[in-house]
Amino acid sequence: MKVVMDTSFLVTATKWKVDWFKELEEHRLYIIPDVEDELLELSKGKGKDAESARIALVRLEHTDVLPQPANVNGTDNALLELAKEGYCIATQDIKLKERIKKIGGHVAFIRQRKTVSIE
């Protein structure tokens, strides 16, 4: 399965020390330019989220970046479009999860601070 990771998933996984590469090793992993931009912006700050964003960026160096869906504004809407195309979206964002499930898409998320589940 092709899995597109969002910022909330990457920052949370890093903060909770969940090895997303190992947990999702059977899947092809991607990000989109908006997620990369969000991580770069977040990494400029201070605190645990900024540190987690910096670590995530280093770990993502060899991850494929999908083209941003055309004519879509906002990261969540772009991820929703990719879910419609059959990609699984890895997120910790509850509202985004609900929107994806509503259209029949697949969602990956961190369960019990240690494993990644796909629904």
pLDDT in tens, the chain (119 residues): 999 999 999 999 999 999 999 999 999 999 999 999 999 999 999 999 999 999 999 999 989 999 998 899 999 999 999 999 999 999 999 999 999 999 999 999 999 999 999 99
Task: Give the residues across from 111 on adjacent strands.
Answer: 115
The Cα–Cα gap between 85 and 72 comes to 14
Residue 87: per-residue pLDDT:
97
Query: What are the boundaries of each domain within the chain?
Result: 2-118
Strand order through the sheet with 2-5:
64-65, 28-31, 2-5, 88-90, 107-111, 115-118
Report the DSSP beta bridge partners of residue 115.
111
Tokens of residue 93, six digits: 């964002």
Q: Which CATH superfamily is domain 2-118 in?
A: 5'-nuclease (3.40.50.1010)
What pLDDT sits at residue 25? 92
- For the chain, what is the radius of gyration of the CA atoms? 13
Residue 75 is predicted with a pLDDT of 95
pTM comes to 0.94
